[in-house]
Amino acid sequence: MKLNQGYCYRHVLCPEASGQSTLAYLAQHFSHSTQSEWQSRLDAGELSLDSKTATGTESLRAGSVLIWNRPAWLEENTPQHYNVVYHDEQMLAVNKPTGLPTIPGAGFYLNTLLSLVRTDFPTARPLHRLGRATSGLVLFALDTQTASTISQGWSKVRKQYQALSRLVASQESYDIRSPIGEIAHPRLGKVYAASESGKSARSVARTLQRRSDSTVFEVDLHTGRPHQIRIHLAFIGHPLLGDTLYAAGGQPKIDQPGLPGDAGYWLHAKRLVFEHPVSKDLLDLGAPLPDCLRID
């Protein structure tokens, strides 16, 4: 366990916050903590509203800035390594191990890929993120212009993954287009899932290997919705092997569901293909597969 230096969370209030008390809003929108836990933080002077110490009784207004100065806390252990796949003056691509969060969040601040990378490359900024359990390629820009150029053309970047799913596939390929959006969940509040009212999404999955009770898929990601591959493979009846959150149909489990960040499944970002922002050369970057995803 590692003790960090604390973190300042800044949140701009949306229109639906208007008229609510600070305490009620915190308990409703940040349900990882109970109302009594938020009140304890308010009593300790950890939260401010528009630069004034918050008590919890204030009537909120849209556009106000709510800040939580979280004191130092012990972070769960994570892998403390990464491998450089590509590096030049403009960008960096690394191979992230499973179990390491890409950026701060969900209780992690120091024990993240971003923190490790910035120890060696102080100007690095991630251009996308992988879930904690997902391994593979993460691309960083090393200057502002590169970050802007690649971000503007991100939809043109070819993104390819490899995944291990439950059950044996009956088809050679699947063109999956189920929309993805947030839905209500009785235990988790809101969670992303297959939803007709969600945003358009597309994944193309190809069967690489059929095993006795599972399938290795290669997946081209054509959009970038949260948990897209996990949801889409579950939608066609092949949830990731070991995924504690999503069940067949692309819906979250109701009874004893896992959390979105739980590990246990195998999903690997194995390939990125894109035009270099300066040289205009075509870069085709790859990250070695974990042993369980290799094809014999």
Residue 133 lies in a domain: no
* pTM for the whole structure: 0.86
CA distances from 32 to 29, 35, 77, 206 (A): 9, 10, 20, 37
Residue 254 lies in a domain: yes
Residue 249 lies in a domain: yes
52-72 average pLDDT score: 96
48-53 average pLDDT score: 97
Give the range of the structural domain holding residue 48, as residue numbers without chain letter: 2-74
For residue 262, what pLDDT is reported? 82
pLDDT interval class at 109 (50, 70, 90): confident
Provide the CATH number for the domain around residue 201.
3.30.2350.10
- pLDDT one-digit tens code per residue, 79-93: 999 999 999 999 999
Residue 181 lies in a domain: yes
Check whether 261 has a pLDDT greater than 90.
no
What is the DSSP annotation of the chain? -EE---EEEEEEPPGGGTT-BHHHHHHHH-TTS-HHHHHHHHHTT-EEETTEE--S-PBP-TT-EEEEEEPP-EEPP-----EEEEE-SSEEEEEEPTT--SSSBTTBSSSSHHHHHHHH-TT-EESS---TT-EEEEEEESSHHHHHHHHHTGGGSEEEEEEEEES--SSSEEEE---EEEEEETTTEEEEEE-TTSB---EEEEEEEE-SSEEEEEEEESS--TTHHHHHHHHTT-PBTT-SSEETTTEE-SSS---TT---S-EEEEEEEEE-TTT-PEEEEE-PPPGGG---
Domain count, the chain: 2
Check whether 260 has a pLDDT greater than 90.
no
Which residue among 74, 92, 115 closes a domain? Answer: 74
Provide the CATH number for the domain around residue 48.
3.10.290.10
% the chain with pLDDT above 70:
100
For residue 263, what pLDDT is reported? 82
Which residue among 42, 74, 106 closes a domain? Answer: 74
Residue 280 lies in a domain: no
- pLDDT one-digit tens code per residue, 123-166: 999 999 999 999 999 999 999 999 999 999 999 999 999 999 99
Check whether 78 has a pLDDT greater than 90.
yes
Residue 257 sits in the same domain as residue 164? yes
- pLDDT one-digit tens code per residue, 178-220: 999 999 888 777 899 999 999 999 999 999 999 999 999 999 9
Which has the higher per-residue pLDDT, 289 or 255?
289
